[in-house]
A and B are shown apart, each in its own frame.
With several copies, the nearest count.
Chain A
Amino acid sequence: MATSPSQFRARVVDNRPLHGGYFVLTLQGPMAPRPLDGVIPGQFVMLRGDWGRDLINPRAFSVLDASDDGRFSVLLKAYGRGTTRLCHAPEDEMLTVTGPLGRGTFDAPTVDGPTQLLVAGGVGLPPLHLQARRAAAAGLASRVELLYGGRDADDLVLLSDLDAWGIAVHLATEDGSRGDRGFVTVPLSRRIERAQARGEAVCILSCGPTPMLRAVRALGLAQGVPTALCLEEEMACGFGVCLGCAVPVYGPKPYAYCCTDGPVFDAREVRWS
């Protein structure tokens, strides 16, 4: 687990448009201490610009990467008012950042642990991208594989990074323009079947739109594959005080909290129909 969270100001040093409407927003935070040192895949930050009295709450974004020069980045796509503003944040704009947040995160891969199937969709890529980056840096590139789904080829971003790290990638697009035609569950079930056929231990780490996570969960549960889901719930605070980000769970209490207990949850624990 990373250091305790703080709130700080950060400057936009780059806001790079990718294809498909995605942006990589890079921020320069303070240098001493560097608030995001030791950030773990799945952890997130809350971002807000000086937006005045409307858009009162900050928005949650998974950390895509944090480097030791105090910079860090997030992957964005315009969804509503807040993300639209952030996609247009010009260089040098100052944002207010709270983080790193989130306690429940992805387990790191190990030499003899199960192969980690990183299942991503849309803006759910960052925690898995960071997981892959860390795995590669630790010489464990072969222990993780990315399964990545989108609407079309344009909807799949940052693939060259995975290539560079030597990580196996399985793609799916709804229109068939790249990889399998269909949802990411198509390559995922094939991959699980293959693993089961040869007795390979695998686990699923997944992040993406909720309908995708539901399908991944169903598949993981049905196939008996340990499945960790990185959830998105509407958040006001991000640090456990508003109780807005409840996740229905099985367990001693009916709700857990996405921001402090998660955002990563065991698929069995999540109380979804």
Chain B
Amino acid sequence: MTAAPRPAASLPLGGVDLSCRFGPLTLPHPVMTASGCFAYGQKFAPFMDLRQLAGLSTKGISPRPRPGNPLPRICETAAGMLNSIGLENVGAEAFLSEKLPFLADLGVSVWVNFFGEDADEYVQCARMLDAGHQRGIDVLEMNISCPNIKKGGIEFGTVPEVAHALTKRCVEATRIPIVVKLSPNAADLPAMAQAVADAGAMGVSLINTITGMAIDVRTRRPRLATTYGGLSGAAIKPIALRMIHQVHRAVPELPICGMGGVGSGEDALELLMAGASCVQVGTANFARPGGALEIRDELRALMAELGIARVAEVIGCVEPLPPEPAWAPAPPDAEASR
């Protein structure tokens, strides 16, 4: 316990300004909800005032509707869960006509998560969703990291050159800014981030779920029909923090939307300090449908307690611990102190 607590005068709640920027976007606070964990928003209306969110990311959209994977699709693990939903969604067309109007009306930042089964489908999807430009869609969050579809997915997410080419084509296909959601299964995240930044991405989202597995020893079967699924929740927060920090250090000017195990205001602040410009709440929405706004309130209270007036102050602010005094066989002033 060598780090002395940083002395800081606490602030009144009102002294905290939660507003923040994500590239060109201005957000009222840094707490959004994550793709696949918030459906298309509507179903949370009984539980929270959706207009108070900073923004939300929709379930991943593909050019055509998809039915999703066989069941079982989810299973709980230690401090986390696995899912293999299979990117079930209504398809771009139905999204634009049936879901977007509701979202556009909310006045929050709407990020449409999207993907395709191959590169052409990605581009096609970006082109289709371009119809939402200035009609409610603020960001296209390009998911190159889903472990749950057969073709594409993983490969786009692990090879920088492939990701670069794909991003470039999608950026050219739409007027809406693109944020690329990177795969935590990639060996070199900074290279991936640089590659998509060079291709014109406005920012990156990280992390998506990490590929995992669970087995029912009684039936000798995997607990998910697809054998593998994506691990999310508190268990992965340390990995998310590391990846956000690595990318922020390597490509400091690239805004990062951080996610992975955020379940409290303190978790959110950790991600911001690692280098995220805003955060998304995923799995925690299931247990606490109003959780994202509670997390915003906790963040405000914690910032007040710690004397942090503005979000921008702390983005990526974490610094190495001071070095220990140099080792020597005897204390420097061994004689003096006797």
A contact set with B: CB distance below 8 Å:
4-7, 46, 48, 53-58, 96, 98, 210-211, 221-222, 224, 232-248, 250-255, 268-269, 271-273
* Distance, CA A201 to CA B312, complexed state (A): 55
Q: Which B residues are in CB contact (< 8 Å) with A236?
A: 74, 76, 81, 83, 283, 286
Q: Which A residues are in CB contact (< 8 Å) with B88?
A: 243, 246, 255
Contacts A7-B290, A268-B337; is A255 near B85 (CB within 8 Å)? Answer: no
Asked if B1 lies at the interface with its beta carbon under 8 angstroms from chain A, I say yes
Q: How far is the CB of A37 from chain B (nearest CB, A)?
A: 15
- CB pair A242–B329 under 8 Å, yes or no, is no
Asked if B9 lies at the interface with its beta carbon under 8 angstroms from chain A, I say no
Q: Which B residues are in CB contact (< 8 Å) with A233?
A: 1, 71-72
- CB pair B47–A7 under 8 Å, yes or no, is yes
- CB pair B285–A241 under 8 Å, yes or no, is yes
* Distance, CA A55 to CA B263, complexed state (A): 13
Q: Which B residues are in CB contact (< 8 Å) with A268?
A: 331, 334, 337
- CB pair A241–B331 under 8 Å, yes or no, is no
- CB pair B324–A239 under 8 Å, yes or no, is no
Contacts A57-B286, A224-B338, A234-B72; is A271 near B79 (CB within 8 Å)? Answer: no
Asked if B21 lies at the interface with its beta carbon under 8 angstroms from chain A, I say no
> What 12 additional pairs, Cβ within 8 angstroms, besides A96-B288, A250-B330?
A48-B287, A56-B287, A57-B286, A236-B74, A237-B285, A241-B286, A242-B83, A243-B68, A246-B88, A255-B68, A268-B337, A273-B325
Q: List 25 A-B contacts (CB under 8 A).
A: A4-B46, A5-B46, A48-B287, A53-B234, A56-B233, A98-B289, A211-B4, A234-B73, A234-B75, A236-B83, A239-B46, A240-B39, A241-B286, A243-B85, A243-B88, A244-B74, A244-B83, A245-B73, A245-B74, A246-B69, A248-B324, A248-B325, A251-B329, A253-B67, A273-B325
Q: Which A residues are in CB contact (< 8 Å) with B74?
A: 234-236, 242, 244-245
* Distance, CA A224 to CA B337, complexed state (A): 6
- CB pair A241–B70 under 8 Å, yes or no, is no
**Residues 67 to 109 of chain B near chain A (Cβ within 8 Å):** 67-76, 78-81, 83, 85, 88
- CB pair A254–B79 under 8 Å, yes or no, is no
Q: Which A residues are in CB contact (< 8 Å) with B44?
A: 241
Mark B21-48 against chain A: 1 for CB-CB distance below 8 A, else 0: 0000000000000001111000110110
B233 nearest in chain A by CB position: A56
Q: How far is the CB of B78 from chain A (nearest CB, A)?
A: 4
Q: Which A residues are in CB contact (< 8 Å) with B327?
A: 248, 250, 254, 271
B contact set with A: CB distance below 8 Å:
1-2, 4, 36-39, 43-44, 46-47, 59, 67-76, 78-81, 83, 85, 88, 233-234, 263, 283-290, 322, 324-325, 327-331, 333-334, 337-338
Q: Which A residues are in CB contact (< 8 Å) with B329?
A: 250-252
B334 nearest in chain A by CB position: A268
* Distance, CA A96 to CA B288, complexed state (A): 9
* Distance, CA A245 to CA B47, complexed state (A): 20
- CB pair A273–B324 under 8 Å, yes or no, is yes
- CB pair A53–B85 under 8 Å, yes or no, is no
- CB pair A250–B328 under 8 Å, yes or no, is yes
Q: How far is the CB of B142 from chain A (nearest CB, A)?
A: 21
Contact pick for B71, options A58, A237, A246, CB 8 Å: A246
Q: How far is the CB of A262 from chain B (nearest CB, A)?
A: 13
Q: Which A residues are in CB contact (< 8 Å) with B75?
A: 234
- CB pair A255–B76 under 8 Å, yes or no, is no
- CB pair A6–B46 under 8 Å, yes or no, is yes
